[in-house]
Amino acid sequence: MYIRFAATSVLMLGVATAALAHGSEQAAAPQPTPSPIVVPTLPPAGNPQTNQIIRAATGIVTDILSRERERLANSSHGQVSYFKRFDMQVQTGPNRYRTIHLHQGTVINPRGATPGPGAIVDVSGQSQSDGSLNADYITIAQ
């Protein structure tokens, strides 16, 4: 039985080698030349009132986006995965955690509650350069 297996393996290896050698002998098809990509452009400068409206709308959108980015940097929402005295860790997403630092004067709502592992919390405060958050307010949802 071992001899038949070895013979079959050698035969299959020979067939595969021959197929690869035959495939490399065929001429490669020529590559088609790429066609140019049409890049959209802005319309030519036209009505000054239209340009003024576009600039104002762009400024409003930019302002909204910068405020939202600042709000998200200074707040966090998730499930508490670690809590001990003045240190807390919140899971904000799958495999995403944020370190929260509490201080004397951090307001925890409802008053007198203690956030424990598994609690859902909303935290707001000041973000730090290392990505952590100094908490001013913590609201326990569950």
How high is the pLDDT of residue 43? 63
Cβ distance 91 to 47 under 8 Å? no
Which is it for strands 133-140 and 107-109: parallel, antiparallel or unpaired? parallel
| CATH number reported for the structural domain that contains residue 119 in this entry | 2.40.50.140
Strand extents, DSSP E, 18-127: 75-84, 87-93, 96-101, 107-109, 120-127
- Local mean pLDDT, 10-residue blocks, the chain (142 residues): 65 66 60 79 73 86 84 86 92 91 91 89 90 91 78
- 119 lies in a domain? yes
- 87 lies in a domain? yes
Domain count, the chain: 1
The set of residues, in sequence order, having a beta carbon less than 8 Å from that of 131 and lying 6+ positions away, is 98, 99
Nearest to 75 by CA among 141, 130, 124, 136: 124
What is this structure's pTM? 0.53
- 97 lies in a domain? yes
Domain hosting 123: range is 76-140
- 133 lies in a domain? yes
